[in-house]
Structures are given as structure tokens and as C-alpha cells.
């Protein structure tokens, strides 16, 4: 029976490279001369420290630009908190969203079931396993999932006959 998995994964090496390239661009740009802007990659989050909201927005745009250049969907960035830091600076924490949460899983399952195709969708941790009798049904299921507006990028992996 053909199966495939629906996952939402991030290549952390590419994220590391995007953060490093963003920091390099920030240190070289003229409008950031003398500015205390910094990006720091933690386990599953990116911490941005800068002087004001305008610079925070500019650094965020630089980071998103480098994410796009590295083929990382910028929707994996989720602003978790904005707070005042020491020395009149602002600290923003961006969480890197990985895995499909329960709400998105239920939304995907509901859409697939409403299509009346002969496939089964099972939740396995933070990914979904889709199985069906025909490979064509699985490909139609992929098209349906691509058409759903989710807050996270999804990938289709592990296609087996």
C-alpha cells in the first residue's frame, strides 16, 4: 500500500548560515554603523537585540531575505516576545516552528476527508502518515494539502509503493 509522510522540518545548518550572513551584512551596512544590533541563534530560537523598533524591523527584513536566499520558508519564524533590554535596547525572540501542531493536523485531516478520496491520514507525533490504495490518490492528496493555507511550510517525504 503506497504511503508518504507530511512533515514540517527546518534545515538547521541553513538557518545557522542565514543568521551568520545576516550578521555579516549588518556589520557592513552603512546605516548600522555604530549600532548595537545583534542576532543570536539559540537551540530553537533566534534572539535579536537592537536599539529601536525601526532597526529591529530592518534586521528582521535582512534575516528574512537571507532565509529566502537559503530556501528556508520565512513562515517558520514566529515572533514570541518583544521586551526592553539593558542600555535602552530592545530584545525580540523569534521561535523556529518545526513539526505540525495539533490544530494544523486536524485541519489537514478534515480537508482530506472532505475530498472523499480513499486515503487514510494518521497522526504520528508531529507528522502525518498518508496511506492509500493508489499512487494517484496520494498525489491528489498532496495537491489538496498544498492548497490549504497553513502558518507553516510542509514537505512530503518518504514516498513508498
The CATH number fitting domain 3-8+99-160, selected from 3.40.640.10, 3.90.25.10, 3.40.50.300, 3.30.70.860: 3.30.70.860
- Protein fold of 12-96: Alpha-Beta Plaits (3.30.70)
Buried b / exposed e across 119-149, counting CB within 10 Å, b at 16+? bebeeeeebbebbbeeeebbebbbebbeeee
Give ranges for CATH 3.30.70.860 in the chain: 3-8+99-160
| pLDDT digit string, tens, across residues 81-121 | 888 877 788 999 999 988 888 888 888 888 888 888 888 88
Give ranges for CATH 3.30.70.990 in the chain: 12-96
pLDDT, averaged in runs of 10, over the chain (161 residues): 88 92 91 86 90 89 93 89 83 90 87 87 88 87 86 85 79
* pTM listed for this prediction: 0.81
Q: What is the pLDDT of residue 95?
A: 92
Q: What is the per-residue DSSP string for 30-57?
A: GGGTT---EEEE-SSEEEEEESSHHHHH
What is the distance between the terminal CA atoms of the chain, rounded to a whole angstrom? 6
Amino acid at each position: 500500500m503506497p504511503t508518504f509522510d507530511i512533515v514540517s522540518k527546518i534545515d538547521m545548518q541553513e538557518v545557522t548560515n542565514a543568521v551568520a550572513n545576516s550578521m555579516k551584512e549588518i556589520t557592513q551596512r552603512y546605516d548600522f554603523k555604530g549600532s548595537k544590533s545583534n542576532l543570536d541563534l539559540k537551540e530553537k530560537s533566534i534572539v535579536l537585540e537592537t536599539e529601536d523598533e525601526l532597526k529591529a524591523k530592518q534586521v528582521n527584513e535582512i534575516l528574512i531575505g537571507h532565509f529566502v536566499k537559503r530556501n528556508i520558508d520565512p513562515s517558520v519564524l514566529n515572533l514570541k516576545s518583544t521586551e526592553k533590554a539593558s542600555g535602552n535596547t530592545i530584545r525580540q525572540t523569534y521561535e523556529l516552528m518545526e513539526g505540525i501542531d495539533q490544530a494544523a493536523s486536524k485541519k489537514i485531516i478534515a480537508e482530506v476527508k472532505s475530498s472523499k478520496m480513499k486515503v487514510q491520514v494518521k497522526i504520528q507525533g508531529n507528522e502525518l502518515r498518508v496511506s492509500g490504495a493508489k499512487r494517484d490518490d496520494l498525489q491528489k492528496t498532496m495537491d489538496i494539502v498544498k492548497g490549504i493555507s497553513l502558518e507553516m511550510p510542509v514537505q512530503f517525504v518518504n514516498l513508498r509503493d
